[in-house]
Structure 1
Amino acid sequence: MLTPQWLDQLRSRTTLSALVGRSVRLQKAGREHRACCPFHDEKSPSFYVNDEKGFYHCFGCGAHGDAIRWMTDHQGLAFMDAVKELAAEAGMDVPQPDPRAAKAAEKRDTLYDVTGAAQEWFRQMLGAPEGAQARAYLETRGFDAHTIARFGFGFAPDERQALKHALVRYPEPMLVEAGLRIEVEERDPYDRFRGRLMLPIEDARGRVIAFGGRILSKEKTNAPKYLNSPDTPLFDKGRTLYNLHRAAPAARQSGRIVVVEGYMDVIALAAAGIAEAVAPLGTALTETQIEMLWRHVEAPILCFDGDAAGQRAAMRAITRALPLLRPAHTLRIVRLPEGLDPDDLIKRSGPAAMEELLGQSRSLVEVLWEVEHAAQPLVTPEDKAGLKARLIQHVETIQDPDIASLYKRELLDRYGEFAFPRRENRWQAGGGGNARQGAFTRGRPQGRWNGRNAPAPSLPESIERLKHALSGGSRDALSAAVIAGLMRWPDQLSRHAEALARTPDLDSRFDALIECCDAMAPLENGDLPTILSKNGLQVPRTAEYSGLRFGFLAPDANAQHAAEELAQAIDLLVERPVLETALAQATARFETELSEESFAEQQRLLKRKLEFDNRLRQMATRHASSS
């Protein structure tokens, strides 16, 4: 068991500057060492190493850690591998938790010897007469000698006992446990890989832990084209990314990692000069693999084939990534032209075409909308409602509340533009409208809203109805604050009008703003209050929202930050009536049924209501606490 005391002793025996200095050129600066940060690009040094305190810190990007953290974040090792490597250099024995674990560790070390010996034999066989077909295949792929040697290509002869005879010094059970031999009842064990071009699969330290093999004979139509080792004590395919040990250092230089579908794609990209590519191993990208990628870059680029299978792979990756999203950590998506893989594209159009495609990667939310929008026909209202339901289901899996709110807003905005397209302005088409519009337009061109069809101005009788509605309408603090925010930042009205128009039970002043405001030309700060005042509608008073000190109402508010905070407040406003209605219905159902199911549903909604109130409280006091 690794106790805190043992880990502290390990850190004290490690000279951090010497460790970091193997990869980074350090300069002595008083009691510290400094350098340009290896975690981000910079021209002047802001990265410091302090041996006395045992940590490094970058004042530019915030990277911070000790010797173990350096080995995991910079060298790409797993925690235990980092500890073992540092302990070996410090002359310390890593404590084993119990005898069984010690035995398992000893077995792993022995299996490394087996896989290493198998790799050496496969490489020898590639150069032997038996490997002629494999060498011919490599020539058709255009891989040069350097690429073949770098990635360790080999060949497994098409014989059932060839590997056993080559590795006769290792007992049969070890060969089976390493995934090299297959053991079945009532039959002799036989080699797993036969008649295949072989590739080693390596861990973060570059040790061979498994193999992948591509079949060479066209006659074996029943055999899988690609075959990987099974899970073993060394190899867990859901926790391994092919080529990560080579891609991680390259990613620190380029600032990106490219995830492709197979290891031959990785090698094709490397041969074309794109060294920071990795691939999962026969499975969809797992949650563990996503977290592994995020240790190196914040936005890995997923590159999928342009066919239906590639789209399904993209959707599986998106579905697994959504619950894991956190600030600044996401995925970018690239779809290749249909029928092409990375190797095909590079051979047809050159590496520059691949670079251009990677530079056009799209955001996760954009691809999510595109895939769901194209998933089913969207003809009837029920079809369109189904699309909205699917989008909301995806949003509800996102654990980070801020990201979930932003995704919900983005997707509903896209849905609104699709499901509720703007209709032609009745005043522009019907004639006679100009006389009625004069109070609102002041000579502006009519009938467009930021380039789209604008809502028609209200008839006088509509304004009268609004006046009566306002006399008894509910004006809670959140609504009043949002209205005041729109008064302060009128250019945001067109952005949020669609969502507000679809939200039930809002303060009637929202209807007044949407109906009475022609917003084709940029609005000015005095426009909205003037429109309300001229038609007898009351401008929000500070007393209505004095308990909510939103940042977008602050005198010194920054326009960009104000727009972001106002959008979050409107998200809360839009979400509230839906939540309150669902809670009221659940409460009524519980009072009549008194069942465990109805009680559980009511409690779930009560919890959501508390979370909603906390989000509102945190947002409304954020500015107050920082000012």
Structure 2
Amino acid sequence: MCLCPFHEERSASLLVDNERGSYRCFGCGARGDAVRFLMDLKQIDFRTAAQELLTYASGVTYSEPAFVSAEPKRTRSLDLVPAQLECVSFEESIENEDFSIQAAEQEQVLRLNALAFRFFQQQLEVMQRSSASASTEARDVLRYLYETRNLTAHTVDAFGIGYAPLHWRALVQYMLYEQTEIPVVAEDLILAGLAKTRHTASKGDKLNGRALEQSLYDVFRGRIMIPIRDVEGRVVGFGGRQLEFTRCVETESRVLEHVTGNGAVTAYPSEPSVSPLFSALKSNGRFTAISEEIRNRPLPSKAETAVPTLPDETMFGPKYLNTPETPAFHKSRILFGMAQVMERIRSPEAFADEWTTVDQVGPCVILVEGYLDVLRLHQEGIWFAVAALGTSVTPSHFQLLVQLAQHLGRACAHRLQSDQRPRIILQLDQDEAGIRATKRTLDMFLDQLNGSGRQPFYDLLVAELPSGVKDADEFVQRYGHQAYLTQVVAHARIWWRHEIMERLNAYVAAVESSRRGIAPENDVTRLFWRWSASAQRLSRSYRHIDPTSASLSR
């Protein structure tokens, strides 16, 4: 323990942990590692602080770099003897991937995601253990998972599903003040897409330190949390599904209420030492604290009162919310469920029972629209389904589908001693957005086919659900997984047959629309004009619309 250099004090409150290489002040809340300490102490940027630390550690003065690329560079590790270090610039010394700023940020985001993943899981586990005396919020969560969605405990556990409390700062409080595994600062949570900061009163002001921590709030609130993993199984992001809470639900709040000089009510996030209290959620979605203990706390400083109290958004956001773009998460380059698919391809012996479905239908990868569709299909043994986290299918998504199909085809060939062509089956929702996404994916396939000049090793098919069924989740819940395999997957059409049928259906619909449009017309001249206009629109002679038009034209 020592005196903190970031605020005035008489008794030591700064704890330095040599083993973890971190520090934390119990007075002002300052915390971080050696680089963060130097940045805050001297008010310098990351690059300058890292340069000074390297100079201090090695005793060698490094030159100022002219430019440092934001992209991680993959080069051979520098194997230099101490005598050669004097000739190496600072820019060259960080070219190695281990010293790359972006690689370091990605690694930090992955660590934060792992902590958040455990936090969300713990919230759900607490609700399950106390189900007998659960709150309204807990009952709604459990009812949605096990009754509305009919998920099993095995599926919830296998995918690591958790819950983000209906609270503005639950995850922020845990990350900054409760967990002790890694040092975390406010900027880290923003970088990982787990927290946002409220806008300052003056756009030119820049928050830092304690003020920035107090301005943070959780991105995910009142949501079922589904971790999104890469092919290595690392949690790179989250998908949150909002629950239909009532606006009067009681929830745990760490919001303080203060009355400013002009009589306005101002709310502030609680200090780490304040116990969370139950409060009522007002009709406008903002919290009001009800504790006299909190009301008697001293008013915040003028610098803190300049920070707006609540974010410019409601407590309840969109129904589905994904992690924003981060150094570890790129929505356009990841498929939900591919980690589970690759796990079964790599270890078929460990999942021997689940491979019976593949033996039945052959090697295929099914692309559905949402992660809830994937959860449903995987629960029913159809583990070769993945989702693009929406209707925006990108070329990177398509390349991932091709790679998954290739791996699955090889695994099946080794397992069954057969040479079946793997299939990629597009089964997106039957709404307008899903139809457009299917069309874009087919266009990507044709572009790739024309560009390579070679026949693909896989077949591309399109599966359609019957009318009145929105998605795979609804179909399986209504008719069962065997019906999905025999009626949807088995009847998927090859891409060119699907294109022909779609164009024929569009042509027939256009002809019928033209017939209905000109049927009520009685005037012969106007009838002939409308026939001709309809035929021109269809790029056909008007004689194809009605046989009597030939005699009419004469």
Q: What TM-score does the superposition give when structure 1 sets the normalisation length?
A: 0.44
Of the two, which has the highest radius of gyration?
1
Larger RCO: 1 or 2 (CA < 8 Å, sep 6+): 2
Flag the structure with higher helix content. 1
